[in-house]
Amino acid sequence: MLNAAPTDLTGKICFVTGACGGIGASTVEHFSALGAKVYATDIASEFDGPAEYRPFDLLDEQGLQGCLDWISDIKPVVLFNNAAIFDMGSVLDADLASFDRLFGVNVRAFYAIMQATAQSIVSQESKGSIINLASQAGHRGEALVAHYCATKAAVISYTQSAALALARKGVRVNAISPGVIDTPMWKDVDALFAKFEGKEIGQKKREVGRAVPLGHMGSPEDVARVAVFLASDQSEYLTAQTIGVDGGNVLR
C-alpha cells in the first residue's frame, strides 16, 4: 500500500512573519486552510486574515524582543520566516543607513527569529520545519540592488548552517527563493527602477515578467504552495535546500 505523507497541517502551530504582504498573507491562508493554528506578525497595526496577529517593528530592539518573547510563549513548530525590506542603490550610492536597515531586518531579525523558533522546537523535543525566505537576488549580485542581494545570500547561507546544526534534533531548515512575484511590493520596486533606470512606471514590471522563461510573473500562491510542502510531512527528508520558485529564472 502506498505510504503517502499528508499535506494536512492540523495540530501544527505555525508562525508567519511579514504576514501583511502578498506572500505572507497567502501563506497564512494556506496554512490555516490546512488546519494549522497560525500566529502572524508584521509592522502594520492591523491584519485581516485567519491568524492571531500582533504587530512588531523588527528594527526596534523592544519590538524584536517582543516578537521573540511571543515565539517563546506560543511555541511554534513551523516558521515561515518572511519579513524583509527592499531598497536600491549601487555600491557607489547605497549608503550605510540603507545597509543598516536592510541587514537589520533581513539578516539580524531574521536570524533572531529563526534561532528563537529553533530553541522552542528543541525544548519541546518535537520535530519542526523552519522555512526561510531568500530570493533569486541571493544567488547573484545585481548592479542596483547591492545590499538586498547580500542580505538574501546571507539567508541562504544561514539556512544551510542551521539545517546542519539542527538535523539530529529533528528540525528541518529550508529556504524558498522567489523570483519576480506579483505582490503589492512590486509597485514600490517598479518605482525605484523607474527612478534609477529612467523607465516609465510599469515598464520594468512588464519587462521582468516577459523575461521569465515561463513568460510571466509568479503569484503569492505559487510560493505559499511550496511553503505548505515544506511545512508538511511531504518534505520530511528534505533539509538544507533552497527551492527556487522563479519560473526558471535561476538555474541551480
- Supply the residues annotated as catalytic: 148
Q: How many CB atoms lie within 10 A of CB 5?
A: 11
1: its cell numbers: 500500500
**CA atoms of 154 and 244, how far apart (whole Å):** 16
127: its cell numbers: 520535530
Beta-strand relationship, 13-17 and 78-81: parallel
Element (H, E) at 37: strand 37-42
**CA atoms of 110 and 95, how far apart (whole Å):** 21
Q: How many CB atoms lie within 10 A of CB 128?
A: 24
SS3 at position 217: coil
Residue 215: which region, alpha, beta or left (left: phi > 0; alpha: psi -120 to 50)? Answer: left
Element (H, E) at 221: helix 220-231
